[in-house]
Structure formats: C-alpha cells, structure tokens
C-alpha cells in the first residue's frame, strides 16, 4: 500500500451484485471505509449529492479522501473502482502489463457480459409484470452460455486470471445467484468449485454481509413504486 489510509473511504452502496464487488475489495485490502447507504428502491440514486459523484445514477461509487497526490477523488462504475483500488494498494491487480491484461479481460467480460445478461435474466424471470417466454429464454440461455465460458476457463486454474484478483471479485456476486437465473450449478463443476473457494474467503463473507439486512426491505417482485423507480426511468 502506497501510504497508510488514515481517513476512511466513503462507499456509496446498496447490497447488490455490483455493490458487493467493492465491499469485498475493501475488505480484502483491509482499507478503512464507511458505508453511505443509497436506497435504490426509494430513488436515493437521483439525489443531487449522489449524482455529483456518480453521474450515471448507479451504485456503487466511492470518495477517497486520500486520492492521488493526497487530494480527494471520487470514482463511479464498479470496474473502474476495482482498478483504482487495485492500483492504489498494489493488491489483486498485477503491476506487470501481461498480468494486468489477463485480469482486465475477465473484468471487462463481467462488466459487458455476465453482469448485464444475468441482470436481464433476473428482470424477465422475476420482476417483469408480463412473463415473456422469448425474453426469458433469450437471457437464461445467454447466462447459461456465459457460465459455460467460466466453467471452461476454470478447468485448469483456481481463479479466472490465474491468481485471485479483482476479476473474481467482480463475478462472485452475480454467480452466487445462479438459482435466480434458472441455472443448474451441477452442470458447471469447475464453476461450482470456484464458488466454494470464493465463498470460503473471510473477506468475501464480510463483503457480502455489509448491510445485508437492506436486501429484504423491498420486494421488487411486488412493490410497484420500487419498480417504477428502478425500471421506468428515462433521461432527466
């Protein structure tokens, strides 16, 4: 770590697969942090003070009071936050170019593939008011394909980029929800073993438990007001 972190990082957060990425990374790095809850079901993500640091009105975001050159910095987008924290601490993100490319490939694979596709699977299987067979099959099948990609990758290594890294942290929150995505984990033995390794890590357990009680405060499958906030937004 470049310098001792004496002031806690502010983590703007809600317990979702994207939020978990950063709570896990902060726990793995041993960085002090304080959680600023952003209740996405109530529309906290549209408040001006949050938009000032996260213009895409999505969690997570961080404010690091000890940023580059000792000056504060805010970072939004979970992948960018993971990379920033990896560079800041020198942990879980290689310093050499070949190692970093290996990690980046799988980080961006999650950001562009696993997360969006699994998220759409959740939406059409669980939250959509009309159950559309084509949409359900489309996204369930694509998530199945992506699980197959992970399963093949993990056939000869313990973690996605070889050593444990931010790429694994990016994927665990989505992958552990395989049942909600209509998947059978027994079809993917290497992925199943990776999940067990990941979920056995103490810092992963702690990261996943941050404000865990908030996940049960809203039932998105039935709460019409929350659905309007999360699923009905247009440009402002």
Residue 64 pairs in a beta bridge with 73
- H or E stretch at 11: strand 9-13
Tally the residues of the chain. 236
| Residue pair 153/103 in contact by the 8 Å Cβ criterion | no
How many beta carbons lie within 10 A of that of residue 20, not counting itself? 26
* pTM of the entire predicted model: 0.96
How many beta carbons lie within 10 A of that of residue 225, not counting itself? 11
Q: Which residues contact 177 (CB under 8 A, 6 or more apart)?
A: 17, 118, 122
Per-residue pLDDT of the chain (236 residues; tens, 9 = 90+): 457 899 999 999 999 999 999 999 999 999 999 999 999 999 999 999 999 999 999 999 999 999 999 999 999 999 999 999 999 999 999 999 999 999 999 999 999 999 999 999 999 999 999 999 999 999 999 999 999 999 999 999 999 999 999 999 999 999 999 999 999 999 999 999 999 999 999 999 999 999 999 988 878 888 888 888 889 889 98
Q: Following DSSP, what letter does each residue of 145-181 receive, concatenated?
A: HHHHHHHHHTTS-SBTBBB--HHHHHHHHHHTTTTTT
């Amino acid at each position: 770590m470049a310098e001792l972190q004496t002031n806690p990082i502010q983590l703007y957060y809600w317990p979702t697969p994207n939020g978990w990425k950063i709570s896990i990374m902060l726990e793995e790095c041993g960085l002090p942090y304080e959680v600023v809850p952003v209740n996405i079901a109530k529309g906290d993500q549209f408040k001006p003070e949050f938009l000032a640091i996260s213009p895409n009105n999505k969690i997570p975001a961080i404010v690091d009071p000890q940023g580059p050159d000792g000056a504060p910095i805010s970072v939004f987008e979970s992948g960018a936050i993971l990379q920033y924290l990896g560079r800041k601490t020198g942990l879980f993100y290689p310093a050499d170019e070949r190692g970093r490319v290996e990690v980046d490939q799988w980080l961006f694979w999650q950001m562009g593939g696993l997360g969006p596709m699994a998220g759409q699977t959740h939406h059409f299987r669980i939250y959509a008011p009309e159950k559309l067979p084509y949409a359900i099959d489309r996204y369930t099948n694509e998530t199945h394909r992506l699980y197959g990609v992970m399963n093949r990758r993990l056939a000869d290594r313990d973690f996605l980029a070889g050593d444990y890294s931010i790429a694994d942290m990016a994927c665990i929150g989505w992958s552990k929800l395989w049942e909600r995505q209509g998947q059978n984990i027994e079809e993917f033995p290497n992925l199943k073993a990776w999940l067990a390794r990941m979920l056995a890590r103490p810092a992963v357990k702690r990261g996943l438990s941050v404000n865990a009680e908030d996940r049960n405060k809203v039932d998105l499958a039935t709460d019409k007001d929350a659905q309007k906030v999360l699923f009905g937004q247009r440009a402002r």
